Structure 1
Amino acid sequence: MDTSRFLGTLKDSVGNKARPEGSIAEAYVNKECHNFCSMYFHGVETRYNRFERNFDGDQIMIENEYSIFSQKARTLGAAIYYTLSNSDFRTIQWYILINCDEIEEYLKMHMEEIQKHGNADLQQRHQVEFPSWLKRYVIKLHLDASLESNNHLYVLGIGPDIRVSRYTGIIVNGVRFHTIKRGSSRRTQNSGVLVHGVHNSKETDFYGQLTDIIQLDYCNGNKVFMFECDWWNVGDKKNGIRTNGDLISVNVSRKWYTCDRFVLATQVEQVFYIDDVKNGDNWKFVQKTNPRHIYDVPEVEGNESNPAHEPYQQFEPGSNDVHQTNIVESRR
């Protein structure tokens, strides 16, 4: 808290108008005493031990846990329960499976198996048949007593419940997201999303807005959070996206990938959209920001450091002593 704001807080505590200086001094002493005592409280929430506003929940790390089940997220608001359509359920389940690095060998096994029956519509058959193939495979392993029911391969292979929970807000990796519906009645904006992907074998940044937050429940208490988004057509370099130096403007009236709306919550970055008055009402500038208390410091491979890029701070001009400071990395 800066000095002017702190002084204003103390002025609000003036009870004796004839002796304002005494009231301010007493309020200051009381505040310092309370702060000192609160540092030694245990089991009581104080300003020194309370969670951050965008605290995303405790996470118990389990040995050999699959990355797909290790999302750090805290939902906001009450859950709305509903049943996914068959097409959405298949789309989401396939997306989860191909984004789980731990089962890459099983994806290859299934691909080799279906190739024995011909190469026609190979990728489509792989996408349609793999979830049921993996389910039969893990059930067989379980019946042969070679796979425990709490093993994450078994959990993933059995698949999620088609009945899911929907939310209008969530905090993922310390970032707060709201759906468009929740943000429509607010002056703040938390629905802008960015996902790094590939289009036509080229790396592409997909910009859009969050429309729904879905929680899928697996057995043994495992959960996966998915975002349903509307994507803007940035593939059209003329009428979909325009760049001017470091400024990026997207056309929010042209949608893209309408059949591929789901992504993992942990794959999404937050962006904000600002009106582009030059190009018209349908155009928005993209503003990328770094959330508070979250730092993305590049990792240095190995123990060697490059002196040319090593940060340091000098004490006083003309001083002979130069001390280098280390930067503590705080990963997301």
Structure 2
Amino acid sequence: MYVDNEANEDDESEDRLDEMFRDVGEEFTNRSNELDELLNDSKQPLWPGCSKYTRLSAVLKLFNLKAGNGWSDKSFTALLDLINDMLPEDNGLPKSTYDAKKIMCPIAYGNLAGYSVKGHKACPIREDNTCYTQLVHGRKTVYLGHRRFLDRAHPYRRLKKAFNGQQDYTDAPQPMTGIEVYERVKGINVTFGKTQKLKSQRGKRSRANVEQLLPVAVRGILPKKLRYTIIRFCFFFNAICGKVIDPDKLDELQNGIIVTLCQLEMYFPPSFFDVMVHLVVHLVREIKQCGPAYLRWMYPFERYMKVLKGYVRNRYRPEASIVESYIAEEVTEFCTEYLAGVEAIGLSKYRHEGRSAGKGTRGRKVAGMPREDIEEAHLYILHNTSEVEPYLDEHKALTKEQNPRKTDMWIVSEHNRTFISWFKNKVLSATNYSETVRWLAHGPLHFSSSKDKNPVIAELSYYGVIEEIWEVDYVQFKVPMFRCKWVDSKHGVKADELGFTLVDLNREGHKNEQFIMASQAKQVFFVTDPSDKKWSVVLHGKRQITGDGNEDVSYEIEEIPPFSSSLLLVIIDNEIDEVHASRDDHHEGLWEN
């Protein structure tokens, strides 16, 4: 039989089950009978006279819907029963989920490790050399003694009252070598399945809470030394969770977190120090050996665990239910590549799909704006378009040449006042300019404007709030812009000693510079400063969309920008050896038996 491959090359309306069998043929080397059954099902019409669906293609497409929408086996059986009732009596569609899976079974081929982070050897880095203390009354095992990681001449080592009543000049225990690790694990008998129980303790922490919100929340409470220690602890996590880490600063981070842990020992009771607090001292070492933390943390696995839990239909047999649904989805996903008119399953769509290009409709209106606002927006676009830069320089030089005795401020003002008309006359009087430059010289025809119902905060060199979203129409292209209410940069923005940026949203400024291009905006959040309600703390958010309709969207890994470039400096030269754990900043009295 002759097949015109060129004619069918771009035809996506036909299934390609023959290609699927060719690709998986090697898997059926010793199972020729199963391959024959699949081939028969792929050629058998769904009912006599049906030319669009075969028995196999119908089952695969229905399973694609089942897997993509999370249908239970019971609901899928009910659907098959209903479709069978609609089709002719001699149709080949299976009548239950069980029968459908029997058709697909030939396509399907069907470690956990744990570590007990409890007890006296809970630290996986030190094990036998773990520094532990068992509390007398609560019997809880805690992990103190972080002074041993300091330099031997560090002032904290000679303090007594501030810690456990003793000076500490012990050396830091050395981590196990590769040979030592091998000697410990070489005799482990790995058993798959349910016969072996593994112990583990999963610490689930909210990065956003620790890195962003907690430093702000404690600004108005707690004594200054304790507050700074907590904020420094949060800054450490913000630094190690970055996508880019300077190797030269890792030693600084390590020294800083050791001091911070020692200060926590000074201010917090021993029961606070479970193994999760202690393991922080080893994070920098792991980064040196394994790279940035974001490549190895648990968040992607926890998200996927949610997917696996969604496979459970039989709660009495959850593992088998997950395996069965996973295999069915894998088989369906593989077969989907050869089916026409179906979408892949298991891959979530980008939430901005279809929104970064095209036309907006909600709240959009063509509006007449004051001429002054139109010219201000148009001039800003010209100043921020690379093709116009030579003309900007030319006009500034011309203005300065014609007015040699005027000040630079006057030259800039005159340039802004006259550039639009000069640019238009220059470009339209000749024909050797690009289409973009010519349409920019014509100026905008009208504006599409929308009040921002869900304001997004914009930040470039200014801080402010978006009040209106404009779409400037140049016929051949459109330029989105934000009209903003800015905070006075001189009197309404400051940085404190902790590295926080604070803004006073009531101090309005830059009223003559209302516009920015949408591509220049970055999102931030303003959180009221607990220590002074007049000011708001600036928290940076990650960029959600990069590029425009002509560029690819960048799926960036989440990163929370740091508050400051380095950890807070710790002044310890004049540290007084005294008890810090007792509090005197309240009037609630003490509990006495």
Query: What TM-score comes out, normalization by structure 2 length?
Result: 0.37
Q: Is the 8 A contact 1:231 1:258 kept in 2?
A: yes
Q: Does 2:471 correspond to 1:215?
A: yes
Paired with 1:56 and 1:266, the residues of 2 have a C-alpha distance of 18
State the Cα distance separating 1:92 from its structure 2 match. Answer: 0.8
Q: Does 2:539 correspond to 1:274?
A: no
Amino acid at match of 1:294: E
Q: Is the 8 A contact 1:39 1:48 kept in 2?
A: no
Change (3 A) 1:48 1:75: farther
Q: Does 2:381 correspond to 1:96?
A: yes
State the Cα distance separating 1:53 from its structure 2 match. Answer: 1.6
CA deviations 1:124-161 (Å, max 9, x no partner) are: 3321221112112222113xxx44xx622111111112
Amino acid at match of 2:368: T
State the Cα distance separating 1:208 from its structure 2 match. Answer: 1.3
Change (3 A) 1:20 1:263: closer
Alignment equivalent of 1:153, drawn from 402, 413, 437: 437
Change (3 A) 1:136 1:194: same
The structure richer in strand per residue is 1
Residue aligning to 1:54: 352
Change (3 A) 1:22 1:98: closer
State the Cα distance separating 1:215 from its structure 2 match. Answer: 0.8
Q: Does 2:509 correspond to 1:247?
A: no
| Helix, strand or coil at the partner of 2:427 | helix
State the Cα distance separating 1:224 from its structure 2 match. Answer: 1.0
Q: Does 2:509 correspond to 1:260?
A: no
| Helix, strand or coil at the partner of 2:429 | helix
Paired with 1:24 and 1:48, the residues of 2 have a C-alpha distance of 14
The structure richer in helix per residue is 2
Amino acid at match of 2:454: R
State the Cα distance separating 1:106 from its structure 2 match. Answer: 1.7
Q: Does 2:271 correspond to 1:9?
A: no
Which of structures 1 and 2 has the bigger CA Rg? 2
Alignment equivalent of 2:417, drawn from 128, 141, 160: 128
Task: Please give the residue correspondences for 1:221-232 in structure 2 after superposition, counting only pairs within 5 Å.
Answer: 222-232=477-487
Change (3 A) 1:103 1:48: farther
Alignment equivalent of 1:285, drawn from 516, 537, 548: 537
Q: Is the 8 A contact 2:450 2:470 kept in 1?
A: yes
Paired with 1:227 and 1:284, the residues of 2 have a C-alpha distance of 22
Alignment equivalent of 2:331, drawn from 33, 43, 56: 33
Paired with 1:129 and 1:44, the residues of 2 have a C-alpha distance of 58
Change (3 A) 1:103 1:234: closer
In structure 2, runs of 5+ residues without a counterpart are 1-300, 545-554, 560-593
| Helix, strand or coil at the partner of 1:10 | coil
Residue aligning to 2:459: 194
Higher relative contact order (CA 8 A, sep 6+): 2
Change (3 A) 1:96 1:21: closer
Q: Is the 8 A contact 1:76 1:167 kept in 2?
A: no
Paired with 2:320 and 2:345, the residues of 1 have a C-alpha distance of 26
State the Cα distance separating 1:97 from its structure 2 match. Answer: 1.2
Residue aligning to 1:105: 390
CA deviations 1:177-227 (Å, max 9, x no partner) are: xx4x325xxxxxxx122103xxxxxxxxx111222211111122x111111
Q: Does 2:559 correspond to 1:294?
A: no
Paired with 1:275 and 1:46, the residues of 2 have a C-alpha distance of 45
State the Cα distance separating 1:35 from its structure 2 match. Answer: 2.8
Amino acid at match of 2:500: L
Paired with 1:166 and 1:216, the residues of 2 have a C-alpha distance of 9
Q: Is the 8 A contact 2:367 2:448 kept in 1?
A: yes
| Helix, strand or coil at the partner of 2:530 | coil
State the Cα distance separating 1:107 from its structure 2 match. Answer: 2.1
Q: Is the 8 A contact 2:493 2:501 kept in 1?
A: no
Q: Is the 8 A contact 2:522 2:543 kept in 1?
A: no
Amino acid at match of 2:542: N
Amino acid at match of 2:367: Y
Q: Does 2:435 correspond to 1:165?
A: no
State the Cα distance separating 1:86 from its structure 2 match. Answer: 0.7
Paired with 1:20 and 1:296, the residues of 2 have a C-alpha distance of 32
| Aligned-residue identity in percent | 24
Q: Is the 8 A contact 2:464 2:484 kept in 1?
A: yes
Amino acid at match of 2:438: Y
Paired with 1:22 and 1:208, the residues of 2 have a C-alpha distance of 54
Paired with 1:85 and 1:130, the residues of 2 have a C-alpha distance of 19
Amino acid at match of 1:290: K
| Helix, strand or coil at the partner of 1:219 | coil
In structure 1, runs of 5+ residues without a counterpart are 59-71, 169-178, 184-190, 197-205, 298-332
Paired with 1:51 and 1:7, the residues of 2 have a C-alpha distance of 18
| Helix, strand or coil at the partner of 1:132 | helix
Paired with 1:243 and 1:49, the residues of 2 have a C-alpha distance of 44
Residue aligning to 1:83: 368
| Helix, strand or coil at the partner of 2:438 | helix
State the Cα distance separating 1:103 from its structure 2 match. Answer: 2.1
Alignment equivalent of 1:141, drawn from 415, 430, 433: 430
Amino acid at match of 2:447: V
Paired with 1:215 and 1:242, the residues of 2 have a C-alpha distance of 34
Paired with 1:218 and 1:261, the residues of 2 have a C-alpha distance of 20
Q: Is the 8 A contact 1:193 1:270 kept in 2?
A: yes
